[in-house]
Amino acid sequence: MAWRTRPWAQAAAAAALVAASSYVSSWCTHDVSSGAAGGRPVLGPLNAGFATLSYERDADLPLPRLVVTAERSAATDDDVIGALAFVSKVLRRRRPFSVLYDMRAITLPTLSRKQLGLGVDWAREQAAPLDAQLQCIAYLIRSPLVRAAAQVVIRFLKPPQPTFIGACGDADAALAFARDRCAVKHWGAESAARDRRYGQQRSTMKGGPANEFISPEGLRVDGRRAGEVRRIRCRMGALRADGSAYLEQGSTKVLVRVSGPREVARRAKASHDAALLTCEFTALPFAGGQHRPQGRGDRNAAEIALCVRQVFEKIVQVQLYPRAQIDIAISLLQGGGCPEAVVALLPRSGALSLVQLEARIPLASLDEVLHTAAQGCRQVHEVLQATAEVHAQALLHSRGNFST
C-alpha cells in the first residue's frame, strides 16, 4: 500500500484499535454529543450500521467536513461497501474537505480482515482524488489507552495530511484544528516524497499496480537485491539425537530434532505398511519479540506442524519402516515476521509440495509470485545441499573413511 493511500488505511487501523480495546473501562464524563457535528448536511446522513456518515457544511469552517460517527452495531460487508460508496460520492464532488472520526460515544465493532481489505483496495483506487481533496483528519477517541495506540499508528504511517487525535472533551479543539490547519493543498507531492524516502517504488505487475520496497539502486531496505534471499546459516548435528539441525535465515532462528525410527508409542496408530510420521512445533515465549507463552491447543502451532508433516510425508520413504514411528520436533527460537506466501519445492523434480497464502494476491500475479518463490527455494536448497555435503564428509572423516 503506497503512502498516499494511508489516510484511509490509518482510519481502518484506528477503528481496529478501538474495537480490539473495547474492554477498556475508561468512561467519559463529557457530553459526547457536543461539538462533534453541528453543520448543515449536504449529503446524508447515511446510517451504515457500524457508523453514521454525514457530509456537512459548517459556518465556522472554511471547508466542508465528512463526519463519521461510530454506532453500536456489528459491521457487515454490505455496510462497509455502502460507507465506501458514500465517500466515493463525496470525492466525485471534487471539492476539498476535512474528516472527523467521532469514536467517543460507542465502541466500534471489530472489522474483519476482509472488510479491512475492502477499505485498503478502495483507498488504493482512490489515491489521486484523496491526495487532491482530503486536507486534514481529526479523531475523537474515548479510551486513553486507545488514543495512545492510535498516536503510535499515526506516527508510524505518517500520513501527509495534518492529523489530530483528541479525547472526549476535545470537540472544540478538533473544530479549531479543522478551521486553522486545513489549508487547501494537493498532497500528491508529499506522498511521492514519502515513497522515495522509504525506498518504495510503484511497479506494474500483470495484475495491476503493486508496491515494491526497492530503492532506485535496486536494493531492498535491508540492502539485499530484489531476487536475493535473506542470509542463511545452517548447521547439522546441533543436538545429540538421531538427527538435528539449526537453521538461521535473517532474524528467524529454528532448531529441529528428529527421532526414530522407533517403536510406535500408541500401537493403535501403528501401520503395517508404513511408518507413522509425527510433527510438533513449539515457539519460545520470547520468539516473537514479546513474552507470549504458547498454550496447549495453539491453533497456529498446530497448522505449522500439519504443513511440515504433509511436506515430509512426500519426502521420507515411510514404507521402509512399517510399524515404526518417526518424530520431528521444531523449536522456534526467534521469529522474523510472518510471510505473505509460503512455498515448499522438491528440488529435483521442481514439484510444489506446499503453497500457503497469508495475503490477498491478484490471480493474474499468482504465477509471478510462485515463480519468484520457486527461485528462492532453489537458492535455499543450494545452501542446505552444501551444508549436508560438508557434514557428510565430516562424518566419513571421523569414521576413518576419507573417500569423497
- pLDDT tens-digit series, residues 126-174: 888 888 888 888 888 877 777 787 787 777 667 778 888 888 788 888 8
Q: Examine the domain organization and report whether 135 and 260 are in the same domain.
A: no
Quick count: other Cβ atoms within 10 Å of Cβ 122? Answer: 20
Q: Examine the domain organization and report whether 260 and 366 are in the same domain.
A: yes
Res 33 pLDDT > 80: no
The residue whose grid cell reads 495491476 is: 208
Please state, in angstroms and rounded to a whole number, the distance separating the CA atoms of residues 282 and 15.
32
Mapping DSSP to helix (H, G, I), strand (E, B) and coil, where does residue 131 land? helix
pLDDT at 19: 38
Q: Examine the domain organization and report whether 75 and 185 are in the same domain.
A: yes
For residue range 360-393, what is the model confidence (pLDDT) as tens digits? 777 777 888 888 888 888 888 898 899 989 988 8
Q: Examine the domain organization and report whether 64 and 11 are in the same domain.
A: yes
Q: Examine the domain organization and report whether 307 and 174 are in the same domain.
A: no
Q: Examine the domain organization and report whether 168 and 316 are in the same domain.
A: no
- 155 versus 307: the higher-pLDDT residue is 307
**Please, what's the largest Cα pairwise distance for the chain?**
92
In a domain, 89, yes or no: yes
Res 306 pLDDT > 70: yes
Q: Please, what is the angle between helix 77-91 and helix 113-125, to 10°?
A: 20
Q: Examine the domain organization and report whether 60 and 124 are in the same domain.
A: yes
In a domain, 207, yes or no: no
* pTM, 2 dp: 0.46
For residue range 45-63, what is the model confidence (pLDDT) as tens digits? 888 888 889 999 888 888 8
Cross-strand bridge partners of residue 197? none
Number of compact structural domains in the chain: 2
Phi and psi at residue 151, to the nearest 5° = -65, -35
Type of residue numbered 44: G
Lowest mean pLDDT among 7-11, 111-115, 215-219: 7-11
In a domain, 212, yes or no: no
Query: Residue 185: is it exposed, middle or buried by C-beta count within 10 angstroms (0-12/13-18/19+)?
Result: middle
Q: Angle CA(330)–CA(332)–CA(333) in degrees, nearest 5? A: 130
Query: Residue 142: is it exposed, middle or buried by C-beta count within 10 angstroms (0-12/13-18/19+)?
Result: buried
Boundary-marking domain end, from 197, 220, 246 = 197
In a domain, 214, yes or no: no
Domain CATH code at residue 385:
3.30.230.70
Q: Examine the domain organization and report whether 32 and 103 are in the same domain.
A: yes
Q: Examine the domain organization and report whether 140 and 274 are in the same domain.
A: no
In a domain, 221, yes or no: no
Q: Examine the domain organization and report whether 190 and 240 are in the same domain.
A: no
In a domain, 361, yes or no: yes
The residue whose grid cell reads 510444489 is: 352
For residue range 199-212, what is the model confidence (pLDDT) as tens digits? 443 333 333 334 44
- 214 versus 387: the higher-pLDDT residue is 387
pLDDT at 280: 93
In a domain, 202, yes or no: no
- Helix (H), strand (E), coil (C) string for 260-316: EEEECCCHHHCCCCCCEEEEEEEECCCCCCCCCCCCCCCHHHHHHHHHHHHHHHCCC
Q: Examine the domain organization and report whether 182 and 297 are in the same domain.
A: no
Please state, in angstroms and rounded to a whole number, the distance separating the CA atoms of residues 70 and 79.
13
Assigned C-alpha cell, 83: 460507507
Contacts for 218-227: CB closer than 8 Å, 24+ residues apart? 227/372, 227/375, 227/376
pLDDT at 8: 40
pLDDT at 218: 72
Q: Examine the domain organization and report whether 261 and 191 are in the same domain.
A: no
pLDDT at 199: 45
User: Can you spell out the DSSP letters for 82-113?
Assistant: HHHHHHHHHHTT---EEEEEEESSSPPPPPPH
In a domain, 226, yes or no: no
User: Can you spell out the DSSP letters for 306-343?
Assistant: HHHHHHHHTTS-GGGSTTEEEEEEEEEEE-----SEEE
Name the residue range of residue 355's domain: 232-398
Please state, in angstroms and rounded to a whole number, the distance separating the CA atoms of residues 351 and 373.
13
pLDDT at 205: 35
CA distances (Å), origin 72, targets 108, 227, 276: 6, 47, 51
